[in-house]
């Protein structure tokens, strides 16, 4: 039975199919788009006209094909009229970025938290800064904002917009999406799409949407900060799993009977390669952690301090074990190593690459490409904008969300609660 809205959904799917095709193949003409996507030329012409009017697409100069008849007009994604907002709700600060549809940064803000122990105040300050960016007379004047995406450093229920646990902030069961929507009321962001997701997933979407690589799928973004997480892209989609916990690799066991982890087990990736574990190794477990101490670790690494370099080398070898595990589990084309740990540089990454290559040589198969993020410190914030583009360009029913909601109905609450307790 056809119900109200079906034709509109089909139209939107077709519109965004054209946009996605031009993301991967800029410069196609209307006729080439029709042939590639499988729509009639008249349908493509009508949809392209709408997308041009709305600011999604732009035309370039007519191109001569040598054939008789009307010359083809190349079409491209328009970077001049629309904007995407992204935020990285980090450990000590929020990083906000506005980009165009091509991922080019239009404006950015860094907002230190007045009190990182007060999630409500942190969210309110970030919301106010984002609303300020989106003001009609603000930094994005003349552009239409399409939506906002937020990366959170913890276990996130993206369906409900809930941050269940951020271990290095101490935030528990915070309705981030609900609070943001409340603060956006009366601003230019009211009613616009809003997405929240774990920071590694968000950074993975930045690499998928904005890196310009059409052959980097499957892709894994391995985020190494105080702890370890990952975002996994397969067939152009973010792999989130039944309950949204896919990619939580920080508690995969790398070493039986290894060092104790905060989860109560031993030998987890967090306890072997996370920055907290590195600081514990170099400075002792009673030293705690602070931005100043982390900066000291980076400086000692850069200067070649023997104790720091020994610990970093050992962590790098364990990184290689994790890289191998991810490789054989997902067979990715590329693994991007991001997070604060990339400041340790090749002292950290090269030992991991060597371990992975040794494992690959034993199988006679090529190892995946290992590289660092294309967007540096802004990887998560830019990923927030990429998340908006990603979901707007894929207006399908979210089967993963539906499956998770169905699974929750019959799942014991202790399953999720136990996971959040040690993530």
Q: How many CA atoms lie within 13 A of 270 on its CB side?
A: 21
Question: How far is CA 59 from its chain centroid?
Answer: 30
DSSP per-residue string spanning 104-162: -EEEEEEEE-S-TT-HHHHHHHHHHHHHHHHSTTSTTTT-EEEEEEEEESSEEETTTTE
Helix (H, G, I), strand (E, B) or coil at 77: strand
In this structure, the strands spanning 144-152 and 194-198 are: parallel
Query: Helix, strand or coil for residue 247?
Result: coil
- Report pLDDT for 413: 42
Question: Please, are residues 37 and 25 in contact by the beta-carbon 8 Å criterion?
Answer: no
Give the relative orientation of helices 379-392 and 199-210 as an angle to the nearest 10 degrees. Answer: 70
Question: How big, in percent rounded to 5, are the helix, strand and coil portions of the chain?
Answer: 45, 20, 35
pLDDT at residue number 379: 93
What is the model's pLDDT at position 417? 40
pLDDT of residue 244: 74
Cα gap 393→95, rounded to integer Å: 25
Q: How far apart are CA 61 and CA 59, in angstroms?
A: 7
Which sign, positive or negative, has the C-alpha torsion 125, 164, 250, 390? negative
Which residues share a beta bridge with 171?
A: 166
pLDDT of residue 175: 97
**Spatial strand order in the sheet of 155-157:** 155-157, 162-166, 171-174
- Structural domains for the chain: 82-203+384-391 (3.30.420.40), 212-373 (3.30.420.40)
Packing angle of the helix pair 41-54, 6-24 (nearest 10 deg): 80
Q: pLDDT value at position 269?
A: 95
pLDDT of residue 70: 61
Cβ-based neighbour number of residue 62 at 10 Å: 12
pLDDT score recorded for residue 411: 46
Q: For tokens 């990429």, what's the residue? A: 386
> Do 175 and 345 meet the contact criterion of CB atoms below 8 Å apart?
no
Q: What is the pLDDT of residue 56?
A: 97
Other C-beta atoms lying within 10 Å of the C-beta of residue 260: 13
Contact in structure between 14 and 47 (CB atoms under 8 Å): yes
Tokens of 171: 């935030």
The pLDDT of residue 20: 94
CA distance 375 to 310: 29
Phi first, then psi: give them for residue 107, nearest 5 degrees. Answer: -160, 150
User: In 3D, which of 199, 201, 82, 203 has the Cα closest to residue 147?
Assistant: 82
Q: Which residue has 């054989």 as its token pair?
A: 328
Would you state the pLDDT for residue 66?
A: 57
Each of the 423 residues of the chain gets a pLDDT tens digit; together they read 344 557 888 999 999 999 999 998 999 999 999 999 999 999 999 999 999 999 999 998 765 555 555 668 999 999 999 999 999 999 889 999 999 999 999 999 999 999 999 999 999 999 999 999 999 888 999 999 999 999 999 889 888 899 998 888 889 999 999 999 999 999 999 999 999 999 999 999 999 999 766 557 899 999 999 889 999 999 888 998 877 778 889 999 999 999 998 888 999 999 999 999 999 999 987 666 677 889 999 999 999 999 999 999 999 999 999 999 999 999 999 999 999 999 999 999 999 999 999 999 999 999 999 999 999 889 999 999 999 999 999 987 454 554 444 454 444 444 344 443 444
């Amino acid at each position: 039975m056809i119900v109200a809205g079906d034709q509109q959904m089909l139209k939107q799917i077709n519109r965004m199919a054209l946009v996605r095709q031009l993301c991967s193949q800029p410069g196609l003409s209307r006729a080439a788009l029709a042939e590639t996507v499988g729509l009639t030329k008249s349908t493509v012409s009508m949809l392209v006209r709408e997308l041009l009017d709305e600011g999604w697409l732009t035309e370039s100069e007519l191109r001569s094909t040598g054939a008789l008849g009307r010359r083809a007009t190349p079409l491209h994604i328009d970077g001049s009229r629309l904007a995407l907002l992204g935020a990285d709700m980090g450990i000590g600060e929020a990083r906000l970025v506005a980009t165009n549809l091509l991922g080019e940064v239009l404006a950015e803000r860094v907002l230190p938290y007045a009190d990182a122990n007060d999630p409500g105040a942190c969210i309110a300050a970030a919301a106010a800064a984002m609303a300020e960016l989106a003001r009609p007379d603000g930094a994005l004047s003349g552009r239409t904002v399409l939506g906002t995406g937020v990366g959170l450093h913890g276990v996130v229920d993206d369906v409900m917009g809930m941050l269940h646990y951020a271990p290095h902030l101490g935030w528990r069961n915070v309705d981030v999406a609900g609070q943001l929507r409340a603060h956006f009321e009366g601003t230019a962001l009211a009613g616009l799409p809003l997405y929240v997701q774990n920071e590694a997933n968000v950074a993975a979407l930045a690499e998928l949407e904005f890196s310009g690589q059409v052959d980097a799928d499957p892709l894994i973004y391995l985020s190494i900060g105080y702890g370890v997480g990952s975002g996994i892209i397969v067939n152009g989609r973010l792999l989130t799993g039944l309950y949204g916990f896919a990619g939580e690799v920080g508690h995969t066991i790398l070493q039986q009977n290894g060092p104790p982890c905060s989860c109560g087990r031993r030998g987890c990736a967090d306890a072997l390669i996370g920055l907290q574990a590195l600081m514990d190794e170099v400075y002792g477990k009673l030293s705690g952690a602070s931005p100043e101490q982390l900066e000291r670790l980076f400086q000692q690494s850069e200067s070649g301090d023997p104790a720091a370099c020994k610990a970093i080398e050992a962590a790098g070898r364990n990184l290689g074990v994790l890289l191998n595990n991810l490789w054989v589990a997902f067979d990715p084309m590329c693994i991007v190593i991001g997070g604060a740990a990339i400041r340790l540089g090749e002292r950290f990454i090269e030992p991991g690459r060597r371990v992975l290559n040794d494992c690959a040589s034993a199988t006679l198969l090529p190892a995946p490409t290992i590289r660092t993020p294309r967007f540096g410190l802004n990887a998560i914030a830019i990923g927030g904008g990429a998340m908006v583009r990603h979901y707007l360009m894929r207006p399908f029913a979210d089967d993963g969300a539906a499956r998770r909601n169905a699974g929750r109905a019959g799942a014991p609450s202790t399953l999720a609660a136990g996971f959040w307790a040690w993530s």
